[in-house]
Structure 1
Amino acid sequence: MGNEESVVVERREGAAGEVVLRQRGREYEIIANGCFLMDTSDGRSERLLVDAALQALEERGDAPGVLPGVLIGGLGVGFSLARAAATGWGRIDVVEREPAVVEWHRTGPLAAYSGGALEDPRVTLVQDDLLAHLHAPGEPYDALCLDIDNGPDWTVTENNGSLYSPSGLDACRNRLTPGGVLAVWSAQPSATFEAALRSAGFERVHTLEIPVIRGVPDVVHLAHRAS
């Protein structure tokens, strides 16, 4: 994003601590509890999160004309939601716990990145904690695309760690249809998380890498519920 100085656009006390929207040059970035979360400079890995899940479901061989349903965990800067709205999904639920992030998309500068997807009739915005939503009774999804942390080993808040625990992964598996796909974004590979997915009963666990300009690749962890 160059050497431009960052400027705070807005700072809020949110559901799980401080959340900040900053601008650096022409790009925006979200900071949660002092931890850099994501920015608008690229978006390839966030789009891959959605594309890889959809491709895996196509391999499942659903009946023609039946569009799968997806839960997107974390609105972020909007790349994943915009991609889902532009591709072959039916029902699209996006879960975001921070009201500020939602407002930045509805009436703020991040609207340019979600591209009006929140107004798509297939999209339902759920303002809630992701794990609470997963544990609540509800219709299962064909895919869960989760991007609420820098990865299973680098969470934004301590409470988020429970998502990657045995009980959290059980909740993910139970909200998937048979043969459904769990896709989890991470800033770095995690062999420990892959092992946890297998221990939780997921099948076909594997990791896709996305090269970045500096450092280790971003990754998407993929796993399937048994058919």
Structure 2
Amino acid sequence: MASVTPTQARTGAPEAPRTLDRREGPFGEVVLRQRGGPPAAPGADGGGTPAAPVIYEIIANGCFLMDTSDGRSERLLIDAALDALPAGRAHPSVLIGGLGVGFSLARAARQPRWGRIVVVEREEAVIDWHRTGPLSAVSAAALADPRSEIRHTDLVAHLRTEAGQDTYDALCLDIDNGPDWTVTEDNDSLYSPDGLAACRDRLTPGGVLAVWSAQPSPAFEEALRNAGFSGVHTEEIPVVRGVPDVVHLARKGA
């Protein structure tokens, strides 16, 4: 890995991301990049440039999707769904839509209350980065958990086919950038009336749908109500500036 250059050490300029892998798949190009890395070699005075934290980024079709710099909202996706389930429901099952950088899977595996944990991911490259690549640092323990299962398939197709007829106590969806900003056109259908109906059908009575979004969406809240969900509300991640990541929550009737 490249060290911090003298120019970066003097100016504090951020290091350009390094491409670790680039794949062309059925839904377009996906890229894994790294920022940060080890410190520069010590100088004559015995000192060196402090290491920048290693951050991995996933880019899809040229658009930034996510990185490993934070993860609060991805963890909230799991925590909020679990908290919203009816009290006393033992060992609830969860389907996580989108493996991403692995924060949601890792969070679910750390919580002993969850029973079966199924992750649906359509990009083979992303699965490889977790099983044998750099993202295993995030997800190795979770992948080794006997409750966990990775299914390599498209979530929308999975929900609507016979193979996806299993029901779950929670659906935690982190697909694209949320309902109002999708990189891949096909992902729009997940947030459509038909897509939300498919989600509702895959939930057990009283089950919870949790949807990650890069921004609040009153229109999506209304779409959830129109799709027959109750208890619709949104939880935000506090931010100093800019638009917060959010988790939209809704419950299927008992």
| TM-score grouping bracket, smaller chain normalisation | over 0.9
The two structures, once aligned, show a CA RMSD in angstroms of 1.2
User: Aligned pairs, how many?
Assistant: 222
- The CA distance in 1 between the partners of 2:26 and 2:204, in whole Å, is 30
- The CA distance in 2 between the partners of 1:148 and 1:214, in whole Å, is 24
Q: Does 1:220 align with 2:220?
A: no
Name which structure has the greater RCO, CA cutoff 8 Å, separation 6+: 1
Give the % identical residues.
Answer: 72
One-letter amino acid of the structure 1 residue matched with residue 56 of structure 2? Y
Query: Equivalent residue of 1:89, what SS?
Result: coil
Gaps of 5+ in 1: none
Segment drifting more, 32-41 vs 210-219: 210-219
Deviation for aligned residue 1:215: 1.2
Counterpart for residue 134 of structure 2? 109
Q: Does 1:38 align with 2:66?
A: yes
Query: Equivalent residue of 2:234, what SS?
Result: strand
Deviation for aligned residue 1:115: 3.4
Answer whether contact 1:6 1:22 (CA < 8 A) is retained: yes
One-letter amino acid of the structure 2 residue matched with residue 39 of structure 1? D
Q: 1:177 aligns with which of 204, 214, 231?
A: 204
Q: 2:30 aligns with which of 7, 19, 33?
A: 19
- The CA distance in 2 between the partners of 1:28 and 1:120, in whole Å, is 23
Answer whether contact 1:15 1:97 (CA < 8 A) is retained: no
TM-score (norm. length: structure 2): 0.85
Counterpart for residue 100 of structure 1? 125
Answer whether contact 2:131 2:140 (CA < 8 A) is retained: no
Q: 1:83 aligns with which of 107, 110, 125?
A: 107
- The CA distance in 1 between the partners of 2:212 and 2:186, in whole Å, is 18
Counterpart for residue 78 of structure 2? 50
Counterpart for residue 87 of structure 2? 61
Counterpart for residue 152 of structure 1? 179
- The CA distance in 2 between the partners of 1:178 and 1:4, in whole Å, is 50
Answer whether contact 2:94 2:172 (CA < 8 A) is retained: yes
One-letter amino acid of the structure 1 residue matched with residue 103 of structure 2? F
TM-score (norm. length: structure 1): 0.95
- The CA distance in 1 between the partners of 2:135 and 2:192, in whole Å, is 32
Q: Does 1:28 align with 2:53?
A: no
Query: Equivalent residue of 1:170, what SS?
Result: helix
